[in-house]
């Protein structure tokens, strides 16, 4: 396998600390040694290598920017670089880390009781336990505020009824963070594997994120103890949206990793493949394609880096995250499509990683707020006018 050559037209390397470079290089090595050799086999089979979860935990990939309870408390640029390297391997690996760290550990860390933190965070950080996040429902995707899953009080506990759809890691999760209506509020609950009335069937035959497990969460009058609720979560959509801000931040870095993998493959192929007596990289049309890809990746790197520094300073806003998620996933998908074109027919087989990344990025564009949702959020911020729906 050819060695990956990182793209760094703007000396972004100089903007990183020694610790950030060290962490990134450790994940880069993990991806080269443990992910890339097996990813095609898992992509073909539609499986995720769960055996690697403890290794990912040992590398600090789950909740790296949280501190205590087994988490290292790294800065947000280091966290972003980790997501970049993981997604250079495959979006499925970055998804696993995003869900575990940002959508499960972050709400437990931020909204959970001391008992919930002690019980779950160390095991989730090490990869011994797996978590999932249930917000989307069959009829409520972009508009989660319309959810119909409900929790009602019953005796000294709760009864949960409803269903969640398209949930990463649903059927392997030991704990699910589930959002449900309690009267008119939205509250978060921790639902443990094996709870009576709870099942998590897998969704099969995806064309995208094949090396990632996706499923449903079904609650049929599922009884939960009193302390299953996340006591500190804001009583409204702000609770789950706060988690999404964390995960969307990581995705804006991760998408760059997928783009870099596609660019690297296309640049290398353009130097090796000869037509009309010349390497195809010597044709001006190919150079324009490569130049455009490199320019977009560079702009995306600067967005992600600046966002990370703002996050470290406690100044990052959800709109800034929308800008980075919208832009970086969009350019990554464009880069993947042009990279496929540069490979000609070779681009359609799975020895070349670009179509795998391209197919994955279709999901990445859709989950955590579609491109339309982020566009409308930015539009609302700019105009003060809500174009989402009836309200």
Estimate the crossing angle of helix 284-312 against helix 238-272, to 10 degrees. 150
Q: Which of 30, 111, 158, 166 binds ligand FAD (CB under 6 A)?
A: 166
Region of 314 (left: φ > 0; alpha: ψ -120 to 50; beta: rest) is left
CB-nearer residue toward ligand TGC: 70 or 144: 144
Contact segment (CB under 6 A) with ligand FAD among 24-32, 281-289, 325-333, 362-370 equals 362-370
Contact segment (CB under 6 A) with ligand FAD among 12-20, 152-160, 299-307, 364-372 equals 364-372
Angstrom distance (rounded) from CA 299 to CA 295:
6
218: number of Cβ within 10 Å: 18
Angstrom distance (rounded) from CA 247 to CA 195:
27
- The tokens for 169 are 């890691």
Contact segment (CB under 6 A) with ligand FAD among 31-39, 106-114, 260-268, 367-375 equals 367-375
Estimate the crossing angle of helix 238-272 against helix 354-366, to 10 degrees. 160
CB-nearer residue toward ligand TGC: 84 or 245: 245
Angstrom distance (rounded) from CA 6 to CA 282:
21
Q: How many residues bind ligand FAD (CB under 6 A)?
A: 22
Q: Which of 159, 366, 378, 381 binds ligand FAD (CB under 6 A)?
A: 366
CB-nearer residue toward ligand TGC: 224 or 377: 377
First-to-last C-alpha distance (Å) of the chain: 53
Shortest Å, Cβ 56 to ligand FAD: 17
Which chain residues interact with ligand TGC by CB under 6 A?
95, 98-99, 133, 135-136, 142, 144-145, 168, 236-238, 241-242, 244-245, 247, 318, 367-369, 373, 377, 388
When CB distances to ligand FAD are compared, the closest residue is: 141
32 binding ligand FAD? (CB under 6 A): no
CB-nearer residue toward ligand FAD: 266 or 321: 321
Active site residues: 368
Nearest to 167 by CA among 197, 185, 186, 191: 191
Q: Which of 56, 108, 147, 209 binds ligand FAD (CB under 6 A)?
A: 209
* 56 Cβ neighbours under 8 A, 6+ residues apart: 30, 62, 93, 96, 97, 127
173 binding ligand FAD? (CB under 6 A): no
Q: Which of 97, 167, 224, 230 binds ligand FAD (CB under 6 A)?
A: 167
Distances (CA, A) of 347 to 121, 277, 373: 42, 21, 31
Residue 244 touches which member of ligand TGC, ligand FAD, none, C-beta under 5-8 Å by kind: ligand TGC
* Contact residues for ligand FAD, defined by CB under 6 A: 99, 132-136, 141-142, 166-168, 209, 214, 363, 366-367, 370, 372-373, 376, 388-389
């Amino acid at each position: 396998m050819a060695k990956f050559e990182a793209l760094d037209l703007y000396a972004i390397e100089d903007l990183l600390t020694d610790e950030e470079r060290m962490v990134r290089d450790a994940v880069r090595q993990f991806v080269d040694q443990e992910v890339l050799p097996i990813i095609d086999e898992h992509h073909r089979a539609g499986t995720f290598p769960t055996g690697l979860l403890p290794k990912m935990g040992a590398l600090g990939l789950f909740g790296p920017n949280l501190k205590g309870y087994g988490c290292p408390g790294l800065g947000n640029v280091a966290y972003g670089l980790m997501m970049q390297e993981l997604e250079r391997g495959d979006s499925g690996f970055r998804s696993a880390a995003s869900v575990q760290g940002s959508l499960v550990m972050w709400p437990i860390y931020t909204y959970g009781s001391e008992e919930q933190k002690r019980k779950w965070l160390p095991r989730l950080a090490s990869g011994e336990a797996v978590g999932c996040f249930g917000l989307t429902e069959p009829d409520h995707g972009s508009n989660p505020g319309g959810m119909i899953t409900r929790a009602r009080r019953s005796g000294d506990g709760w009864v949960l009824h409803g269903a969640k759809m398209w949930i990463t890691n649903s059927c392997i999760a030991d704990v699910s963070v589930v959002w449900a209506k309690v009267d008119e509020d939205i509250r978060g609950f921790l639902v443990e594997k094996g709870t009576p009335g709870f099942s998590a069937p897998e969704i099969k035959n995806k064309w995208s994120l094949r090396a990632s497990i996706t499923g449903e969460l079904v609650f049929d009058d599922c009884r939960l103890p009193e302390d299953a609720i996340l006591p500190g979560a804001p009583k409204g959509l702000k609770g789950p949206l706060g988690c999404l801000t964390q995960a969307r931040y990581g995705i804006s870095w991760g998408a760059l990793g997928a783009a870099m993998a596609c660019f690297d493959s296309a640049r290398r192929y353009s130097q090796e493949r000869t037509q009309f007596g010349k390497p195809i990289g010597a044709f001006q049309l190919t150079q324009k394609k490569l130049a455009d890809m490199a320019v977009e990746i560079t702009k995306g790197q600067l967005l992600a880096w600046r966002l990370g520094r703002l996050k470290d300073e406690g100044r990052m806003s959800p709109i800034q995250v929308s800008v980075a998620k919208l832009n970086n996933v969009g350019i990554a998908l464009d880069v993947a499509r042009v990279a496929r074109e540069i490979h000609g027919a070779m681009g359609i087989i799975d020895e070349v990683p670009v179509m795998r990344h391209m197919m994955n990025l279709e999901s990445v564009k859709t989950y955590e707020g579609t491109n339309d949702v982020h566009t409308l959020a930015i539009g609302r911020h700019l105009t003060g006018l809500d174009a989402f729906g009836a309200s």
